[in-house]
Amino acid sequence: DTGVSQDPRHKITKRGQNVTFRCDPISEHNRLYWYRQTLGQGPEFLTYFQNEAQLEKSRLLSDRFSAERPKGSFSTLEIQRTEQGDSAMYLCASSSSTAPDTQYFGPGTRLTVL
C-alpha cells in the first residue's frame, strides 16, 4: 500500500457549483479524517469516521458540507453551492484505532472557487 490517496489533486469551480472529493485511506486503517487548510494556517479538523460511522463533526462543517464512508473504505466529501470562502486545501488522513495518535495524510485536494 502506497499511503493515503486523494482525487482530484486540483479542482477549479464556479461559485454555486457542487464539488465532490474522494479519499482512499491506507487499507488496514479503520479511521478516516477530513481536514481543511487555508493559507498561513494549520489543518483544521472537519470530521472523522471509524469504519462507516461518522463519529464527530466540527462546527466548521456547515450544512453545505457532507461526508460519507459507505463501506468503511474510501470516503467522499461533497460541498454544495460552493462559495469563494470554501477555497482551501482539503486534506484526508487515516489511522488505526489501536494507534489513533498517528494520522497519515494524503496529498490533499486544492479547491479554487471563482
Partner 1 sequence: DQQVKQNSPSLSVQEGRISILNCDYTNSMFDYFLWYKKYPAEGPTFLISISSIKDKNEDGRFTVFLNKSAKHLSLHIVPSQPGDSAVYFCALGGSQGNLIFGKGTKLSVKP
By CB under 8 A, tell whether 20 contacts partner 1. no
Task: Using the minimum distance from each CB to partner 1, give the nearer residue, 19 or 43.
Answer: 43
With beta carbons less than 8 A apart as the criterion, state whether 74 and 23 touch.
yes
- C-alpha span between 69 and 63 (Å, rounded): 17
Point out which span in 34-42, 61-69, 71-79, 80-88 binds partner 1 (CB under 8 A). 34-42
By CB under 8 A, tell whether 56 contacts partner 1. yes
- C-alpha span between 105 and 3 (Å, rounded): 8
By CB under 8 A, tell whether 87 contacts partner 1. no
- C-alpha span between 60 and 40 (Å, rounded): 17
Binding-site size, partner 1 (CB under 8 A)? 27
* The residue type at 98: T
Which residues make up the interface to partner 1 (CB under 8 A)? 4, 6, 31, 33, 35, 40-45, 48, 50, 55-56, 58, 91, 93, 100-108
